[in-house]
Amino acid sequence: MMILQLYLTFLKIGLFGIGGGYVMLSLIEREIIEVQGWLTLAEFVDILAIAEMTPGPISINAATFIGYTTAGFWGSAFATAGVITPSIILVLLVATLLKKFYQNKWVQAAFSGLRPAVISLIAGATIFVARTALIDISSILIALTAFALLVFTRLHPILVLLLSAVAGIFLNIY
């Protein structure tokens, strides 16, 4: 039963996660913590950190880790399948239809409305994660430094993550 719940929950998340993985974070948080009660906020933020560091889309990684945490191997398989099912179906449909109708003024107008909405969903996910992750002055300093390095330098994000981990060790142990 838990496996079916995982599939259906992540199917719903996948259906309404327009804009990609980061947009889905607020949906995942609401469903997993508030609605289902499968994880605590701290557990969820830890899973997000792992999902961000591993290769692949964050929503798929998060579904896999959450599924594994709540129901083992089959939980991860079904949560992952749930989150990707809508994408597979929609990509096949949209690719066919968009090829025919992309220049249509209604389609162009719809996309001009979706772009700002996606940005607001990403901003909402950022604020949600920041409330939990920015817990003291060292975490704020690491976040601001990582942001500056990503925006103003050409450092690779993986290097910034590694430097952040080293800074976390240095600032919190020494």
3-state secondary structure of 103: coil
Nearest of 51, 44, 40 to residue 28 by alpha carbon:
44
- C-alpha 149/C-alpha 152 separation (Å) is 6
Q: What is the pLDDT of residue 59?
A: 86
Residue that the structure tokens 């142990």 belong to = 173
Q: What is the pLDDT of residue 67?
A: 95
* pTM of the complete model: 0.59
Q: What is the pLDDT of residue 19?
A: 66
CA torsion angle 129 127 75 60 (round to 10): -100
Q: What is the pLDDT of residues 71-119, one digit of tens each?
A: 999 999 999 999 999 888 988 888 888 778 878 889 889 889 988 998 9
Give Cα separations from 26 to 13, 30, 31, 89 (angstroms): 10, 6, 9, 23
Question: What is 40-101 written as a DSSP string?
Answer: -HHHHHHHHHHHHHSSS-HHHHHHHHHHHHHHHHHHHHHHHHHHHHHHHHHHHHHHHHHHHH
Determine contact, residues 7/66, Cβ cutoff 8 Å. no
Count of beta carbons in the 10 Å neighbourhood of residue 174: 5
Q: What is the pLDDT of residue 142?
A: 95
Q: What is the pLDDT of residue 172?
A: 84
Q: What is the mean pLDDT of residues 56-63?
A: 88
Q: What is the pLDDT of residue 103?
A: 84
Q: What is the pLDDT of residues 158-170, one digit of tens each?
A: 999 999 999 999 9
| Planar angle of CA 30, 138, 27, nearest 5 degrees | 10
Report the chain's mean pLDDT, rounded to a whole number: 89
